[in-house]
Chains A and B, each alone.
Chain A
Amino acid sequence: MTAHTGRTTPAPPPAAQENLQGHYAGFASRFLAFAADVVIITAGFLLVLAAINFVASIVTGRSTNFSRQDIWVIIGYVVWAFIYFAHWWGLNGKTPGGGLFGVQVLTEDGRDVSGRRAIGRTLAFPLSFLILCLGFLGILLGDRRRALHDVIAGTVVVYSWDARAARLRFLSRPQYSAPPESPGVPGPPS
């Protein structure tokens, strides 16, 4: 891409040329958003677990160590994950991971997800894993990119960010936007 100064600038990343907002999100975005959520859930849970261990050791006066193999810890983790997903999907359709990768859960006709539907989606979510992850094939093969738990809960996942605005912001960076040339003032490196 060449600015009016004639200098050649590096090509911008492959941001969408058009506004993708509202289009059904693809596999990579959804998978990476989920992975980010798992990292956040696990990090938060381990932090809380360490805090509980610390408080318990002070209260009981002996070393207390809830390990990750403990069944109650596993149950606690599952409950924590359930609350996490149901809360965020019911609140605005975006988990923190979804917000990071710009994806949002909506009803299949494009409305916000209700609390009841968010709980249903969270309960159906493990089914997509339990059948050898075949529940996710719909994201790759379906016309509306819906996984099994989307079909059960009547939801879709869409891009919630304005790719065109992001591209404009990218182009507006100093190395892309060309300031008016004045004598003696060096331009940005090409």
Chain B
Amino acid sequence: MEAMAQTIAERVISLVLDAVDVNAVLDDVDLNALLDRVDLNMLLDRVDIEAILNKIDIEDILDRIDVNRLLARVDVNQLLSTVDVNRVVGKVDVPAIVDQVDVNQMVQQVDVNGVMSRVDVNAVVDRVDINGIVEHLDLEAIVEQTDLGSVIAKSSSGIASGVVDVVRSRTVGLDESIARMVARLRRRPYTGPPGPPAGLRATAAS
């Protein structure tokens, strides 16, 4: 009896479903209103996402992806322009990285001769401000405290030139004294001997 009732019910349902235009019914359904009544969060809470992910073969998916083609579609420059490199570098612990580097081993692997053969030494020297370096040298101290003084003395200084140097320097001292005295009388500051003429300045500068 029960089996017959189930058979009849199934038959009735089948006939009803055949008679109903499901598409027309769905057209009449306000899906948005229906979705508004569904609590998606609660629904998702009941879904076991971990189980779903476990069933997915990610390796297989990745194998199917043409990464090169994907990257070709990426504008790397634009991507990098949005990256705050300073912030990234700021997060890098450079000393820790350097500590891990065996500099000696690295240097041993470098072909110094090969590197030097590729260096244009003349170009490097051209970029060095030798005059600036010489200006920083205390020539007087070097001459006074080293044998260089005696070398200069032997090569360039005779008694006569020594006397002339002294006479000239004394006379320059006298020039300066007179100039200072005149400046004092004129109530003007004295800042040393004037000059040189414009032509000599240009020659000295070139």
Contact = CB atoms under 8 A, between A and B. Distances in A.
B189 interface: no
Given A13-B166, A28-B175, A110 B198 contact: yes
B181 to A, nearest CB: 9
B178 A166 contact: no
Interface residues of B, number: 47
A133 interface: no
Interface residues of A, number: 51
B193 A26 contact: yes
B182 to A, nearest CB: 5
Top 8 nearest A-B pairs (CB, nearest first) are A26-B175, A177-B149, A110-B199, A22-B196, A15-B169, A172-B149, A110-B197, A110-B200
B128 interface: no
B171 A144 contact: no
A111 interface: yes
Contact of A170 (B146, B166, B174, B192): B166
A87 interface: no
Interface of B: 139-140, 143-153, 156-157, 161-162, 164-176, 178-179, 182, 186, 192-204
A158 B156 CA distance: 24
A46 B148 CA distance: 47
Contacts of A140: 178-179, 182
Contact of B197 (A3, A15, A156, A166): A156
Contacts of B192: 23
A177 B150 contact: yes
Interface in A80-113: 100-102, 106-111
Given A24-B193, A25-B175, A166 B200 contact: no
A170 B162 contact: yes
